[in-house]
């Protein structure tokens, strides 16, 4: 009888496994999509250590009812996991993770190194960060540890390793987040950090003669004859080479700090467990392309703060994050209605949170997680938005999150194996941003604002735009735009020239090709090493006190903030735009020129254009580069997006206005969220619709 029972059990188990294998889709694996789970997820941040264990079951029941599929936890629980040095207590976290799994909720574990415990900072006060004014941080905030301190790094490695040994094979833990919002407080300005920086410079430059030459240190008698003379740049009056190298050193420091934890996690954790870090959009404290390299995928924290979502700004930041590793990403934190840190902590409108969630998915996110589930009853973020109130019952927004969860679950199979595929790329360089911000020359010059102006004009005409490093592969893009590629060394110029020679369409914006790799002026006129191929150059640049007119192939409009006087040097270089009456120097001079080169074309726009001209310039770029336009025309305020893969194309329409919007489809479609079918879509305020072509 026992043998017959065992045979029947094995046969039943085999049937289950066979059935599972037959119903599991054969798709391309994407690291952001969890095998065996939903392809697009709703999550939240849960801090069980802040509540009695008797409360956990009800929290998780409410999460499951809202179709929340993942929780992030433990990233600020160091004192709960290691209450005293070397004494680890993970039992409570085991119970929380296992209870979450009972409610079909996976767990992402955060390393708690953004908030060291009091016993550590009191025993080792040298681990506390020192600010630019020489003041040491005090315990009781966050990010008060010094990432440069070898003692602090040792403790960070130990807690990360202990966690990895304990949770690295837990089937309910799907991934790891390292620290929290890297760079919240960037560096410690102490003697040890200064010595590290000097050693870093010596390793890079090899000799002081080399450094002095590249930094032109004879200026203001800055010449160094010992490495230990080199300071940390503080304030506004520093050598540009010193400033740029400090930013690169900060990048390498944070990368090494991150690696210190990643290495021990990967040594002990299952390969299936991902590793990510939560970034902060256009924060420029370090080069995110380098920081993202060792991660499985990038994540970011999407907060509006005061006001309401700007779909172009928010979409641009999604696309920036997707571009860090040129792959799908997670929104691992976003605001549940309101925040606590803005000038006015207004609540997002009804439906706006849902529109934001679907926009994240449309731009390549596979998870949208809300910070946080329930606010602690005390602490610095008491007023921040939540999904349940201090009494533990749902707040009004809970129902909107539950709607998002239901919708994600209902269509999630369509998104499996899909990603965003773009024909247009915007080049985004941290070196250039740092160089321009240090020497703006016009305090109204906004490098991110300029990037957004190009993005907005192009995104209105296409269903996706990539935002990538200038060194990324470019061969599959029909159009590549570099709004202000200020730092343009020869190796990067060669990379761009190869793209153009092979048939690419390259557009450069103002301030391009001015600086070398050490933040020094190139001996050539702008655009530096690209000038010969352009068949033209910049004669002079001008910071503008007021707007001036310009006109030409893109119509009439205004130049704002910045203008460059261009000159053609090749007979086939074509003038596209000219300045009108202005400061006398610019009158009648070229503002934009273009030239064919190899199989492709280079265009230089030497002015910051107003919105009207930027729109027509975008039309010109799309038409002449043969970029496929968005297949669905949409009215103002409605965004169309597309994700492709696994033999299908998934389209999303999102209305970001507070009015009804109608969209005509090219043919009748089944509308998956409303269940209707037709060739027209009526989108209510903040309305969303999804439809698919292919499978």
pLDDT by residue (tens digit) across 537-596? 999 999 999 999 999 999 999 999 999 999 999 999 999 999 999 999 999 999 999 999
Residue 440 has pLDDT above 50, yes or no: yes
152-168 pLDDT, tens digit each: 999 999 999 999 999 99
DSSP code at position 502: T
pLDDT band at 86 (very low <50, low <70, confident <90, very high): very high
Query: CB 24: neighbour CB atoms within 10 A?
Result: 11
Phi, psi of 522 (to 5 degrees): -70, 150
| Confidence bin at 423 (pLDDT 50/70/90) | very high
Tell me, yes or no, if 564 is annotated catalytic: no
Q: Is 455 helix (H, G, I), strand (E, B) or coil?
A: helix
Residue 181 known to be catalytic: yes
Pick the catalytic residue from 75, 82, 161, 181: 181
Which is nearest to 591 in space by CA: 572, 617, 570, 625?
617
Question: Of 438, 440, 515, whose CA–CA distance to 237 is shortest?
Answer: 438
Q: Which residues are registered as beta bridge partners of 388?
A: 394
What does the pLDDT read at residue 274? Answer: 98
Q: What CA–CA distance (Å, rounded) separates 531 from 28? A: 43
pLDDT per position as a tens digit, 228-239? 999 999 988 899
What is the pLDDT at residue 235?
85
pLDDT at 33: 96
CB-facing half-sphere around the CA of 110: CA atoms within 13 A? 25
For the chain, give the mean pLDDT: 94
- The model's pLDDT over 445-476, given as tens digits with 9 standing for 90+, comes to 999 999 999 999 999 999 999 999 999 999 99
Q: What is the pLDDT of residues 29-70, one digit of tens each?
A: 799 999 989 999 999 999 999 999 999 999 999 999 999 999
Contacts of 1 (CB under 8 A, 6+ apart): none
For the cut 60, the answer to whether the pLDDT of residue 12 exceeds it is: no
Q: DSSP assignment, residue 306? A: S
Cα distances (Å, whole numbers) of residue 464 to 41, 189, 309: 22, 42, 19
* pLDDT tens digit sequence for 367-422: 999 999 999 889 888 999 999 999 999 999 999 999 999 999 999 999 999 999 99
Q: Which one from 82, 161, 245, 333 is the annotated catalytic residue?
A: 333
Catalogue all structural domains in the chain, each as residue range(s) with its CATH number: 39-191+250-415 (3.20.20.80), 424-625 (3.40.50.880), 638-694 (2.60.40.1180)
The 3-state DSSP class for residue 498 equals: helix
């Amino acid at each position: 009888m026992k043998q017959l029972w065992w045979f029947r059990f094995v046969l039943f188990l085999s049937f289950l496994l066979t059935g599972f294998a037959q119903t599991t889709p054969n798709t391309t694996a994407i690291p952001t999509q969890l095998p065996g789970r939903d392809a697009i997820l709703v999550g939240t941040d849960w801090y069980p250590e802040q509540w009695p264990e008797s409360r956990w079951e009800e929290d998780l029941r409410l999460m499951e009812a809202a179709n929340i599929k993942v929780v992030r936890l433990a990233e600020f629980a160091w004192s709960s996991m290691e209450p005293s040095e070397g004494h680890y207590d993970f039992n409570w976290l085991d119970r929380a993770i296992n209870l979450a799994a009972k409610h079909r909720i996976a767990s992402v574990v955060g390393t708690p190194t953004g908030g060291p415990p009091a016993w550590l900072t009191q025993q080792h006060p040298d681990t506390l960060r020192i600010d630019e004014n020489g003041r040491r941080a005090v315990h009781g905030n966050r990010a008060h540890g010094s990432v440069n301190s070898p003692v602090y790094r040792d403790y960070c490695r130990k807690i990360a390793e202990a966690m990895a040994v304990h949770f690295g094979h837990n089937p309910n833990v799907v991934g790891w987040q390292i620290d929290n919002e890297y760079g919240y407080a960037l560096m410690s300005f102490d003697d040890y950090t200064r010595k590290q920086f000097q050693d870093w410079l010596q390793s890079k430059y090899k000799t002081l003669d080399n450094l002095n030459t590249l930094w032109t240190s004879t200026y203001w008698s800055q010449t160094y004859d010992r490495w230990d003379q080199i300071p940390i740049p503080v304030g506004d009056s520093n050598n540009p080479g010193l400033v740029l190298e400090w930013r690169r050193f900060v990048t390498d420091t944070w990368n090494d700090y991150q690696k210190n934890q990643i290495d021990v996690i990967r040594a002990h954790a299952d390969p299936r467990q991902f590793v990510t870090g939560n970034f902060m959009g256009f924060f420029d404290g370090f080069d995110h392309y380098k920081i993202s390299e060792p991660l499985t995928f990038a994540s970011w924290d999407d907060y509006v703060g005061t006001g309401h979502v700007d779909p172009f700004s928010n979409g641009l930041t999604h696309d920036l994050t997707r571009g860090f590793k040129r792959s799908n990403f997670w929104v691992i934190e976003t605001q549940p209605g309101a925040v606590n840190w803005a000038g006015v902590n207004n609540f997002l409108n009804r439906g706006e949170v849902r529109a934001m969630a679907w926009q994240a998915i449309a731009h390549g996110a596979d998870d949208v997680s809300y910070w946080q589930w329930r606010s602690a009853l005390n602490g610095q973020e008491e007023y921040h938005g939540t999904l349940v109130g201090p009494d533990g019952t749902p707040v009004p927004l809970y129902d909107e999150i539950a709607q998002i969860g239901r919708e994600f679950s209902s269509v999630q199979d369509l998104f499996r194996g899909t990603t965003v595929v773009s024909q247009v790329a915007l080049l985004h360089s941290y070196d250039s941003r740092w160089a321009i911000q240090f020497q703006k020359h016009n305090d109204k010059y906004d490098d991110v604002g300029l990037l957004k102006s190009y993005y907005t004009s192009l995104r209105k005409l296409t269903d996706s735009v990539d935002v990538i490093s200038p060194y990324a592969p470019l061969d599959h893009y029909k159009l590549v735009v570099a709004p202000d590629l200020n730092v343009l060394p020869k190796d990067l110029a060669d990379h761009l020239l190869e793209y153009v020679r092979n048939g690419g369409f390259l557009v450069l914006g103002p301030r391009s090709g001015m600086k070398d790799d050490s933040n020094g002026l190139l001996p050539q006129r702008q655009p530096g090493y690209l000038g010969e191929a352009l068949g033209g150059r910049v004669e002079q640049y001008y910071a503008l006190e007021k707007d001036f007119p310009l006109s030409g192939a893109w119509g009439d409009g205004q130049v704002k903030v910045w203008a460059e006087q261009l000159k053609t040097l090749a007979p086939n270089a074509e003038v596209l735009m000219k300045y009108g009456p202005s400061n006398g120097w610019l009158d009648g001079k070229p503002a934009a020129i273009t030239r064919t080169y190899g199989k492709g074309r280079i265009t230089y726009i030497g002015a910051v254009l107003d919105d009207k001209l930027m729109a027509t310039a975008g039309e010109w770029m799309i038409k002449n580069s043969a970029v496929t336009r968005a297949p669905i025309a949409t009215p103002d305020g409605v965004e169309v997006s597309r994700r492709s893969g696994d033999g299908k194309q998934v389209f999303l329409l999102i209305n970001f206005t507070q009015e009804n919007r109608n969209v005509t489809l090219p043919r009748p479609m089944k509308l998956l969220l409303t269940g209707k079918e037709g060739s027209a879509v009526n989108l209510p305020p903040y309305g969303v619709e999804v439809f698919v072509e292919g499978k």
